[in-house]
């Protein structure tokens, strides 16, 4: 797996998920935003990091009693202890939010291991405490029910679906207050650069619209607007 360019993650983290979705849509990718996932801790910073995946299948009563947590190599616990620093743990729980896929202790361990974030299409428990944890955490909801009610963790670092979006190990996961988006790894470097350029242009356009400019010729920008933008960009880049 080729390494990302040094600036890629910082650029991706500096733009919003809406901008990234536009860039991915331009490249023919439509299903990249994890609809329905919301941050539990709304004060947590935006994030970008490579995906470390964990897949669940439906729980089964003869296999998923509470005693399974006595196994230190239980896949859920092993995944938490395996996520590299700066990566994002992404859980495929088949979009079943009735039971949690983790709680305060596991999320705290991820924080201390240096994970960039945690994303699940199930729920999380201990949500009042997680609201104050300094780790970006996105889920489909909250539930006090232990994960074993519905979820059986089976394997790590395999392709998964999270909130209906395909995630491959090493893809770049980006999150902000709006939600979470998946950037295929082989596109991450170029998307980061183009998204940053789009973000700057839209800053200029928003300023003009906020000052009363008509949409025609401004959004999208015509030749004259682009000339004005070049001047604006030169002035603001120098600041």
Full residue range of the structural domain in which residue 228 is found = 191-237
Residues 219 and 130 in one domain: no
Query: Which of 183, 209, 224 is the last residue in one of the domains?
Result: 183
CA distance 184 to 186: 6
Residues 47 and 135 in one domain: yes
Residues 113 and 177 in one domain: yes
pLDDT at res. 237: 78
Q: Is 209 a domain residue?
A: yes
CA distance 239 to 237: 5
Residues 173 and 195 in one domain: no
| % of residues, the chain, pLDDT over 90 | 94
Q: Is 49 a domain residue?
A: yes
Residues 229 and 195 in one domain: yes
Q: Which has the higher per-residue pLDDT, 236 or 86?
A: 86
Residues 124 and 226 in one domain: no
pLDDT at res. 238: 55
Residues 153 and 65 in one domain: yes
Q: Is residue 169 classed as helix, strand or coil in its secondary structure?
A: coil
Return the closest-CA partner of residue 102 out of 83, 72, 79: 79
Residues 178 and 196 in one domain: no
Query: Average model confidence (pLDDT) for the chain?
Result: 96
| Angle between helix 188-210 and 223-237 (nearest 10) | 100
CA distance 181 to 171: 10
pLDDT, tens digit (0-9, with 9 covering 90-100), for 180-216:
999 999 999 999 999 999 999 999 999 999 999 999 9
Q: Is the dihedral of CA 41, 82, 140, 122 positive or negative?
A: negative
pTM over 0.85: yes
Does residue 218 surpass a pLDDT of 80?
Answer: yes
For the chain, what is the domain count? Answer: 2
Residues 161 and 227 in one domain: no
pLDDT at res. 144: 97
């Amino acid at each position: 797996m080729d390494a990302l360019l040094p600036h890629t993650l910082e650029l991706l983290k500096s733009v919003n998920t809406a901008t990234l979705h536009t860039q991915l849509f331009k490249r023919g990718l439509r299903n990249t935003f994890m609809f329905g996932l919301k941050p539990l801790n709304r004060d947590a910073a935006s994030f970008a990091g490579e995906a470390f995946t964990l897949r669940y299948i439906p729980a089964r009563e003869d296999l998923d009693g509470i005693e399974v947590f006595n196994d230190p190599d239980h896949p859920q616990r092993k995944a938490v202890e395996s996520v590299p620093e700066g990566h994002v743990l992404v859980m495929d729980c088949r979009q079943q939010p009735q039971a949690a896929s983790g709680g305060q202790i596991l999320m705290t361990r991820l924080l201390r291991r240096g994970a960039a974030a945690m994303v699940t299409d199930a729920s999380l428990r201990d949500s009042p405490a997680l609201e104050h944890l300094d780790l970006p955490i996105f889920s489909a909801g909250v539930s006090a029910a232990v994960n074993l009610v519905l979820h059986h963790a089976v394997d790590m670092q395999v392709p998964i679906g999270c909130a209906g979006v395909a995630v491959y190990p090493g893809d770049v996961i980006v999150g902000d207050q709006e939600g979470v988006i998946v950037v295929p790894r082989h596109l991450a470097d170029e998307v980061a650069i183009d998204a940053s350029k789009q973000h700057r242009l839209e800053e200029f356009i928003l300023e003009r619209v906020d000052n009363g400019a008509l949409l025609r010729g401004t959004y999208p920008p015509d030749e004259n607007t682009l000339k004005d933008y070049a001047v604006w960009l030169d002035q603001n880049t120098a600041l």
